[in-house]
A = this chain, B = another copy of it.
Amino acid sequence: MKDGNGRMQAAVLYSPRDLRYEEVPLPAPGPDEVLVKITTNGLCGSDIHFYKEGKLGPFLVDRPYIPGHEACGVVVREAATPGGPRAGTRVAVEPGIPCRRCALCKSGRYNLCRDVVFMSAPPINGTFAQFAAVAADFAHPLPQSVDEESGAFIEPVSVGVQACTRAGLRAAASIAVIGAGPIGLVTMLVARAFGASTAYLVDRLPSRLALGSRLGATAVIDASTTDPAARVAELTEGAGVDFVFDASGSSAACASAPALATRGGSVTIIGWPEKSVFPYPVESIIEKELDVHGTNRYANAFPRAIALLASGKLDVHPLVSHRYTLNKVTEAFAFAADHPAETIKVMVRSE
């Protein structure tokens, strides 16, 4: 993404807690890119992580960049190469652009491409701005029935779609989701849309569990007071659930997941545990012949996430806990950083 002619307003992170809403050059789309006027951004936990810590995994905020990768908007300039969305098309922005040429890209797993360029992973600019240049085929048209906030949710819903797809989730199955943050809750909703007939939700925050109940959890389990494995066993006549999803980000919770699974079941890990290496019950994997699936972002998930939202199979609006406008984006970041337990999803709307 090069600089184009013209200027726009954007949120620029300079260093931890130093986020500025300021004027920057308009991006200059390449021949295969469209220019998108961003209308809505969701605030992701990773944005907040960079905001608070200045780093995440291998990525380091060592120069100013624009955060944000949960966005939708409207195409305002078409790509030079034909075939992409026309001007005026509402689109969701898929933020990771792969090389398209390696064996992983060509076999459909482009999320694992070693050369993927991911918007908002510093120093690559993201979407907390008035405009963004996006590869034409990664700007996914939104039908009328998907509103702006749902459009900004396509990215996290795609994380859930990837998790349920990697899990091989079957309709009529029972599931347990560990972690009732935005990703855990979205995964539960997506799993329901995939046909899961029973869904247990595990967390330690009563407010999140209450939200989970409202969103349709069959039962919720407060891990601060109840042993999840024992409770799941009780709820399933000793069997355990068919599919466990770990979206907790906690190494201890991640290690507890196999105990919740039934024989022949599976565990899908979405959240990155806070430690890389930690004690894990491998024997349980063997004895019950479990499958453990890692998931890393998504591939080919955006169109499916859009189809699910467009057909009314899930409703993400109850997850929006706070709303800001783009000119208050610094307040939005500060609030989310300081109130992790209160915020589920913060939405930032360009006026």
Using a CB–CB cutoff of 8 Å, the interface residues on chain A facing chain B are: 32, 83, 99-112, 114, 136-137, 161, 164-166, 169-174, 190, 193-195, 197-198, 218, 251, 254-255, 263-264, 269, 272-273, 275-296, 299-300, 303-305, 307-308, 310-311, 313
Contact = CB atoms under 8 A, between A and B. Distances in A.
Nearest to A99: B83
A286 B251 CA distance: 13
Contact of A289 (B114, B285, B294): B294
Contact of A103 (B172, B269, B303): B303
Given A276-B282, A276-B283, A280-B278, A106 B269 contact: no
Contacts of A289: 109, 111-112, 166, 293-296
A194 B171 contact: yes
Nearest to A111: B289
B288 A296 contact: yes
B104 A264 contact: yes
A290 B282 contact: no
Q: Is the interface of A mostly helix, strand, loop or mixed?
A: mixed
Given A276-B283, A280-B278, A197 B307 contact: yes
B106 A107 contact: no
Contacts of A313: 171-172, 195, 197
Contacts of A276: 281-284
For the complex of A and B, list the 3 residue pairs with the smallest distance between their C-beta atoms, beginning with the closest: A108-B108, A280-B280, A172-B304
Contacts of A101: 32, 83, 100, 136-137
A277 B277 contact: no
Given A171-B190, A197-B311, A198-B307, 7 more contacts: A166-B289, A171-B308, A194-B195, A197-B307, A254-B282, A277-B280, A282-B294
A100 B169 CA distance: 25
A262 B99 CA distance: 18
A129 B7 CA distance: 53
Contacts of A278: 279-280, 282
Contacts of A303: 103, 172
Nearest to A306: B172
Contacts of A310: 197
Nearest to A166: B289
Most chain B beta carbons < 10 A, residue from A101, A218, A284, A290 = A101
B291 A292 contact: yes
